């Protein structure tokens, strides 16, 4: 018998309807089953509470009834009720050996931890550890509390044990990494922090710590990238901007460093120590770019907030002087080419009515420049070595001894050592019987005026 197309279509439609009915019955049955389970659970909960209260009415210290209630509250995360009930059990441990002292003490401590009552949690977990110190729960949570208390060595020991028990537990890895970081074990900390960030990429604190590890381990480029990424963060932004700027400042990227510090200062509610350091570092970045007029107000602000901060008094005095004397500013902070150009002018014009020819210029790491010149007047001629030292601080005997050796090597007749700072007593005594003149901050202004405009 051959079935017609119409019959087949009706059959398909009938099968489809039957499937829909079956799915409906299954889903409604599942819903009824789920509802039934919830009712059963509620009934179990009610019966637990009713039975426990009935036993406690007869004996307020019934440990089994108290344990039933405490475990129920703990499973429901009703921490206030749980800690109160476990507390009643803990108080009975000394007189009732039927109570599992370790378990109730542990859960009392963990409930306190959830309520952020860290002092109570710590005391209880220490007791739990004395009863059974090899469990993950005790080692992890007590390690966390030791970390919060800044006892990083103790935290490290406990968190290592917890990590040995559960090596894939991310919170353990996190606090272990941060404990290692706090103890300056940067290489080990970095490896763990990378693992933590694979699972929690939005963990900004761990990201900041990883950047610091890179910085301390010499990977400045990686550190700068992460710090720059964190600059907009409301909490970590000021510190991240500060660190990004420090990296760029050390690399001689003064404009980038300036931007970092300026971005950091745009944040609100900056911690006082970070605020001072941001302003201080920004003043350095401005100074490196010869923006003394912008550095000076920052130094004044720091001085007003904390006059004893680093060398701010000395810097403030120096910058006030620099704003008054453009030549001195060039001598101390201008690019090397400008500094050497100024020194050349000093040498050429050092002796009036003379013919002076520069024969050699040597610059040592932007710290000082040696210029050898042949000077000739109507009465004498000589080979003279000039050393220009770029500092407003103290110059010691070692520098002057080195200058004397250089004079002998070049067979110069005499030498002039010129600086914007002060020469120590040892340096002054060394040149007393030698043909070396020391020109310090008292005389440098007169020397610099010898330059022709």
> Are residues 210 and 254 located together in one domain of the fold?
yes
pLDDT given for residue 442 in this prediction: 86
Mind listing the pLDDT tens digit for each residue in 16-47? 666 665 565 555 555 455 444 444 455 588 88
> Are residues 96 and 114 located together in one domain of the fold?
yes
pLDDT given for residue 36 in this prediction: 42
pLDDT given for residue 441 in this prediction: 86
> Are residues 263 and 302 located together in one domain of the fold?
yes
Structural domain includes residue 23: no
pLDDT at 69 over 50: yes
- As a whole number of angstroms, the distance between CA 448 and CA 352 comes to 14
Mind listing the pLDDT tens digit for each residue in 297-344? 999 999 999 999 999 998 898 888 888 888 888 898 888 899 999 999
269, 295, 325 — which closes off a domain?
Answer: 325
DSSP secondary structure of 341-364:
HHHHHHHHTSSTT-EEEEEEEEEE
- As a whole number of angstroms, the distance between CA 278 and CA 263 comes to 10
The pTM score is 0.73
> Are residues 363 and 292 located together in one domain of the fold?
no
Mind listing the pLDDT tens digit for each residue in 180-237? 999 999 999 999 999 999 999 999 999 999 999 999 999 999 999 999 999 999 999 9
Mind listing the pLDDT tens digit for each residue in 427-439? 999 999 899 999 9
303, 325, 347 — which closes off a domain?
Answer: 325
> Are residues 196 and 301 located together in one domain of the fold?
yes
> Are residues 83 and 206 located together in one domain of the fold?
yes
| Residue 151's CATH number | 1.25.40.10
pLDDT given for residue 89 in this prediction: 94
Residue 305 φ/ψ, nearest 5 degrees:
-80, -40
Pairing outcome for strands 436-439 and 422-423: unpaired
Q: How far is CA 241 from CA 115, 184, 206, 251, 291, in A?
A: 35, 21, 16, 15, 21
> Are residues 130 and 258 located together in one domain of the fold?
yes
- As a whole number of angstroms, the distance between CA 145 and CA 233 comes to 27
> Are residues 422 and 289 located together in one domain of the fold?
no
Domain range for 91 is 52-325
> Are residues 73 and 217 located together in one domain of the fold?
yes
263, 295, 325 — which closes off a domain?
Answer: 325
Asked if 404 and 434 count as a contact pair (C-beta separation under 8 A), the reply is: yes
> Are residues 224 and 127 located together in one domain of the fold?
yes
Mind listing the pLDDT tens digit for each residue in 136-183? 999 999 999 999 999 999 999 999 999 999 999 999 999 999 999 999
Structural domain includes residue 41: no
Q: Based on the structure, what is the number of domains in the chain?
A: 2
Residue 133, C-beta contacts closer than 8 angstroms, at least 6 positions apart: 139
> Are residues 105 and 182 located together in one domain of the fold?
yes
| Residue 341's CATH number | 3.40.1350.10
> Are residues 318 and 226 located together in one domain of the fold?
yes
């Amino acid at each position: 018998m051959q079935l017609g197309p119409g019959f087949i279509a009706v059959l398909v439609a009938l099968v489809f309807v039957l499937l829909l009915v079956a799915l409906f019955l299954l889903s409604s049955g599942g819903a009824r089953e789920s509802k039934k389970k919830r009712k059963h659970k509620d009934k179990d909960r009610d019966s637990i509470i009713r039975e426990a209260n009935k036993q406690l009415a007869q004996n307020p210290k019934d440990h089994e009834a108290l344990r039933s209630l405490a475990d129920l509250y703990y499973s429901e995360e009703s921490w206030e009720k749980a800690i109160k009930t476990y507390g009643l059990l803990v108080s009975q441990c000394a007189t009732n050996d039927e109570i599992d002292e370790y378990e109730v003490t542990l859960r009392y401590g963990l409930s306190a931890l959830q309520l952020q009552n860290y002092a109570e949690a710590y005391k209880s977990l220490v007791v739990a550890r004395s009863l059974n110190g090899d469990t993950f729960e005790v080692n992890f949570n007590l390690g966390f509390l030791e970390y919060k208390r800044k006892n990083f060595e103790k935290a490290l020991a406990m968190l290592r044990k917890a990590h040995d028990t559960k090596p894939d537990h991310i919170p353990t890895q996190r606090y272990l990494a941060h404990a290692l970081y706090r103890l300056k074990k940067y290489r080990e900390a970095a490896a763990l922090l990378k693992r933590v960030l694979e699972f929690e990429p939005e963990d900004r604190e761990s990201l900041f710590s990883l950047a610091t590890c890179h910085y301390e381990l010499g990977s400045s480029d990686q550190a700068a990238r992460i710090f720059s990424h964190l600059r907009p963060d409301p909490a970590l932004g000021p510190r991240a901007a500060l660190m990004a700027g420090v990296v760029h400042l050390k690399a001689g990227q003064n404009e980038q460093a300036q931007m970092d510090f300026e971005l950091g200062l745009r944040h609100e509610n900056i911690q006082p120590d970070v605020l001072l350091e941001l302003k201080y570092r920004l003043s350095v970045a401005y100074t490196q770019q010869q923006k003394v007029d912008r550095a000076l107000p920052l130094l004044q602000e720091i001085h007003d907030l904390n006059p004893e901060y680093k060398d701010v008094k000395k810097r403030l005095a120096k910058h006030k002087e620099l704003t008054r004397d453009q030549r001195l500013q060039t001598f101390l902070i201008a690019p090397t080419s400008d500094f050497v150009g100024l020194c050349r002018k000093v040498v050429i014009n050092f002796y009036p009515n003379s013919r002076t020819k520069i024969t050699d210029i040597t610059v040592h790491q932007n710290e000082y420049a040696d210029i050898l010149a042949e000077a000739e007047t109507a009465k004498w001629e000589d080979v003279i070595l000039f050393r220009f030292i770029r500092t407003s601080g103290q110059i010691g005997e070692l520098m002057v001894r080195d200058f004397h050796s250089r004079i002998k090597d070049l067979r110069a007749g005499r030498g002039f050592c010129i600086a914007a700072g002060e020469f120590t007593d040892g340096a002054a005594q060394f040149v007393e019987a030698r043909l070396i003149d020391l020109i310090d901050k008292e005389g440098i202004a007169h020397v610099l005026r010898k330059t022709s405009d």
